Amino acid sequence: MGTALAVLEGCAVGPNFTPPTPPSASGYVVEPSALPTAGRSDIAQHLQWGAPPDPHWWAAFRSTALDDTVALAIADSPTLDTARATLAQAQQAIRVARGGLYPQVDVEASAQRDRARTTGGGRGHTTSNLLTIGPSVSYALDLFGGTRRQIEAQTALADYQRYQLAATYLTLTGNTVTQALTSAGAREQLRAVADIIAADRRNVDLVAIEREVGKAAMTDVLAARSQLAADLALSPPLEQQLSVADHALSILVGKTPTQWQAPAFDFDMLTLPADIPVALPSVWLASRPDVGAAQSQLHAASAAIGIATAQLYPNITLSAAWTQTAASMGPLFDSANGLWAVAAALTAPLFHGGALNAQKQAAVDAFDAQLGIYRQTVLQAFGQVADTLRALQHDADELAAQRTALETAQASLALQRESYRVGTASLVEVLQAQRLYAQARLGYARAKGQRYVDTAQWFAAMGGAAQSWAQGQETVNPAGSNTAAPH
């Protein structure tokens, strides 16, 4: 009998989980991947295929200020604290579920006092005491694996929370680096605007002198002043962008904007990474926290099918109790006052109006829905990497074009100013050249900043080895998961 029960306890109804087969992709884009040279004075980036991701990927920007800021964010971020606590909660839920595999031992004690009328119709009463104490044991045989599937589901949900912690880490570090680079980009554009405004002021002064000696009309003075006013309007939006980025950085490091001031990030204190790691798709897919989280939810949905299926089968519970009973404390523990009981209870479903079968089918449908979510998550991950890879390529092309436009506009402005000085060009031509130079100067600053930001986005899209970091944050080892798979 014992052997038969052991064999029965070894089975677990429902599907065993197997991770879905990932897309058989050898690359991320159709055309060959290569990064063009950005320009003579700009850093050229190169793709490094098969390079492993680095958990501290932001160190590639070679900025102590950036390293310190990211370290502060990791140390004090409320979102990381929340994710850690949620993971710890999920790991405790595994322990709760695992407790169902073991006998449940309790001790019960009671004291009772009764009063009864004496026989014979008199008015007398008798009182009696009854004291009981003793242990009881109950054990639910997991004949069809419902408890084990419950453990499997809780383990999968803990895996999901571990991936969520990794995703939180990746999002936090990615946002911190992006905001720092956005701050640097805003400063670069403000520097460009300052140069433009300085040139506008020189134009206003030049036209004023020309007006005094009768060589310029009042319309020329107004045109120069109008250009200056228009370019002065470029600064406030950039100042706001800078303020928003700096305030966002303070929130990311767990401080209010009055408690912590972000470093004055500038491209002079940053180095654009020249080597861009590109993980092979099979390796990369396994490192993406969002894909891992979707797979864990799929695993939990698979285990839920087994839980629902087990409800269709009988459940056997064994119990035993030993009770000491006496009227007073003295003889309570006398062996003669001991009572014992052993029982076995079987509960088998007969008719539930189709509810149990509906629960099982609902679990199957939930699994199919989660499978669709998993597939979509994988597709979106591939799309993000493809978009970011193309962005890096286009950033290099745009930066090279913007540099050419800037050099051309700068040379044209110098020529027009000299021509105006000697009287062979009008002020209108000088202002037009000034406008083109302003556009080129700002365009180059924006392109430079976007290239830095897209580079950071690429490191984040590669996964940033966030999972290896998250594994070091665990407080409990949720061993015992069933790694087989459904359908």
Q: Average pLDDT of 214-235?
A: 86
Q: Which spans in 253-354 are helix H?
A: 281-287, 289-310
What pLDDT score was predicted for residue 127? 74
What does the alpha-carbon distance between residue 251 and residue 259 come to, in Å, rounded to a whole number? 10
Sheet holding 338-347, edge to edge: 104-117, 125-141, 315-326, 338-347
Find the range with the poorest average confidence among 273-287, 300-314, 323-337. 323-337
Task: Give residue 405's domain range.
Answer: 29-101+144-312+372-485
Q: Between 394 and 29, whose confidence is greater? A: 394
pLDDT in tens, 288-310: 999 999 999 999 999 999 999 99
What pLDDT score was predicted for residue 463? 83
Q: Between 405 and 221, whose confidence is greater? A: 405
What does the alpha-carbon distance between residue 424 and residue 402 come to, in Å, rounded to a whole number? 29
Query: What is the average pLDDT value for the chain, to the nearest integer?
Result: 85
Please determine, for residue 218, whether its predicted confidence score (pLDDT) is greater than 90. Answer: no
What does the DSSP 8-state code read for residue 123?
A: S
What pLDDT score was predicted for residue 466? 73
What pLDDT score was predicted for residue 116? 65
DSSP reduced 3-state for 146 = helix
Torsions phi, psi for 117 (to 5 deg): -75, 140
Please determine, for residue 483, whether its predicted confidence score (pLDDT) is greater than 60. Answer: no
414 lies in some domain: yes
47 lies in some domain: yes
Please determine, for residue 72, whether its predicted confidence score (pLDDT) is greater than 50. Answer: yes
Q: Between 339 and 456, whose confidence is greater? A: 456
Please determine, for residue 3, whether its predicted confidence score (pLDDT) is greater than 50. Answer: no
Model confidence at 1, pLDDT cuts 50, 70, 90, reads very low
Give CB contacts under 8 A, 24+ apart, made by 106-110: 106/135, 106/136, 106/137, 107/133, 107/134, 107/135, 107/136, 108/132, 108/133, 108/134, 108/135, 108/136, 108/323, 109/133, 109/134
Q: Between 214 and 161, whose confidence is greater? A: 161
What pLDDT score was predicted for residue 66? 96
Q: Could you tell me the pTM of the whole model?
A: 0.84
Model confidence at 336, pLDDT cuts 50, 70, 90, reads low
Sequence-distant (6+) residues with CB within 8 A of 40 are 403
Nearest C-alpha neighbor of 267 from the set 445, 474, 35, 14: 445
Enter the tokens of residue 162. Answer: 């571990």
Q: Which amino acid is at 365?
A: D
Find the range with the poorest average confidence among 155-159, 259-263, 476-480. 476-480
pLDDT in tens, 434-474: 888 888 989 999 999 999 999 999 999 988 777 777 777 76
Q: Between 175 and 466, whose confidence is greater? A: 175
Q: Which of 28-32, 183-187, 274-278, 322-326 has the highest mean pLDDT?
A: 183-187
291 lies in some domain: yes
172 lies in some domain: yes
Percent above pLDDT 70 for the chain: 88
204 lies in some domain: yes
127 lies in some domain: no
pLDDT in tens, 91-111: 999 999 999 999 888 888 777
Count of CA atoms in the C-beta half-sphere (13 A) of 227: 29
What pLDDT score was predicted for residue 333? 63
Enter the tokens of residue 5. Answer: 């029960």
Please determine, for residue 53, whether its predicted confidence score (pLDDT) is greater than 50. Answer: yes
347 lies in some domain: no
Q: Between 358 and 325, whose confidence is greater? A: 358
Q: Average pLDDT of 306-322?
A: 89
Model confidence at 7, pLDDT cuts 50, 70, 90, reads very low
What does the DSSP 8-state code read for residue 332?
A: G
Q: Average pLDDT of 319-328?
A: 72
Find the range with the poorest average confidence among 114-118, 232-236, 483-487. 483-487
What does the alpha-carbon distance between residue 464 and residue 245 come to, in Å, rounded to a whole number? 22
Total domains in the fold of the chain: 1
Q: Average pLDDT of 329-336?
A: 61
Q: Which of 175-179, 320-324, 353-357 has the highest mean pLDDT?
A: 175-179
Q: Can you give the CATH number for the domain in which 211 is found?
A: 1.20.1600.10
What pLDDT score was predicted for residue 123? 64
Place of tokens 């065993």: 16
DSSP string, 46-84: EEEETPPP-TTGGGGG--HHHHHHHHHHHHH-HHHHHHH
133 lies in some domain: no
pLDDT in tens, 344-382: 888 888 888 889 899 999 999 999 999 999 999 999 999
Q: Average pLDDT of 399-416?
A: 92
